[in-house]
Amino acid sequence: MEGEIDHRATRRDFRAGTLARADLDADPWVQMQRWLEEAERAGNFDPTAMALATADGGGFPNVRYVLLKHFDARGVCWYTDSRSQKGQELAANGRAALAFYWPELDRQLRLQGEVSLLPESDAERYFRQRPVGSRLAAAASEQSREILDRAHLEARVAELAARYPDGDVPRNPAWRGYRLAPQRFEFWQGRSSRLHDRFVYTHNEEGWRITRLMP
């Protein structure tokens, strides 16, 4: 199969804003919170969606979207089934990257760092906060494993719903939380004629160092 995209029809210029060194907070976490809030105010329907890139033991990369659930100065956190492809890859290679994209503001945020498992208590606490349907789905699914068909999956959910009519379905121990501790942040602001503004935070003994990159 061959395909072609008309680049003239899809090309657009970036004119949403600018980014100067003076605009940046010295703390990348403060800057990240600021951009998340501005993305939400700009009308982004899912500002916490982030692309998670992992690699298997052989170095082959994979990427998918997950949702940011909380963060602090220790790192960025999400929850998933540790038996999934990403869970297995993180067990084999504990380094990963994340990327946010907010098209309403022509902004990207990229992070790189080491990933670790959150305590079981964190996973339990967050699992209990999820809607019942989400808890049933997580308990019924062994994420990334092959299944015969949709009906088989729905039957597993129905069986669990009948077993726990009060909605108090237990968390599978494989459903865990992860934290990426960034060693590098990049704040990217699209600019006209592709002369984008890019600033990188890297950590050293004195704190965070900010440098500008060419586009």
Q: What is the pLDDT of residue 204?
A: 87
Mean pLDDT of the chain: 93
Instruction: Taking residues 82-107, report their average pLDDT.
Output: 97
101 is in an annotated binding site: no
Q: Residue 153: which of 141, 143, 136, 162 has the closest Cα?
A: 141
Q: What is the pLDDT of residue 163?
A: 94
Instruction: Taking residues 20-37, report their average pLDDT.
Output: 97
Please name the residues in contact with 178: beta carbons below 8 A apart, sequence gap of 6 or more: 77, 78, 79, 80, 90, 115, 116, 117, 118
Whether the pLDDT of residue 10 is over 80: the answer is no
The pLDDT confidence band at residue 197, using thresholds 50, 70 and 90, is very high
The pLDDT confidence band at residue 106, using thresholds 50, 70 and 90, is very high
CATH homologous superfamily, domain 14-129+173-213: Electron Transport, Fmn-binding Protein; Chain A (2.30.110.10)
Q: What is the pLDDT of residue 17?
A: 86
Instruction: Give the whole-angstrom CA distance, residue 52 versus residue 117.
Output: 15
Q: What is the pLDDT of residue 15?
A: 74
Q: Residue 46's Cα: distance from chain center in Å?
A: 11
Whether the pLDDT of residue 9 is over 60: the answer is no
The pLDDT confidence band at residue 13, using thresholds 50, 70 and 90, is low
68 is in an annotated binding site: yes
Known catalytic residues? 194
The pLDDT confidence band at residue 57, using thresholds 50, 70 and 90, is confident
Q: Where are the alpha helices (DSSP H) in the chain?
A: 7-10, 28-41, 85-92, 120-129, 132-140, 150-163
Whether the pLDDT of residue 4 is over 90: the answer is no
Q: What is the pLDDT of residue 120?
A: 97
Q: What is the pLDDT of residue 1?
A: 59
35 is in an annotated binding site: no
Instruction: State both tokens at 26.
Output: 């010295």
> C-alpha distances in angstroms, 170 versus 1, 145, 155, 193, 208?
47, 20, 18, 53, 41
Q: What is the pLDDT of residue 8?
A: 56
- Its sign, for the CA torsion 80, 84, 90, 91, is positive
Record the pTM: 0.91
Helix 150-163 crosses helix 132-140 at what angle (to 10 degrees)? 120
108 is in an annotated binding site: yes
Note the pLDDT tens digit of each residue in 146-184: 888 999 999 999 999 999 999 899 999 999 999 999 999
**Domain ranges across the chain:** 14-129+173-213
Q: Find tokens 């069986």 and name the residue.
A: 159
User: If phi over 0 gives left and psi between -120 and 50 gives alpha, with beta otherwise, what is residue 210?
Assistant: beta
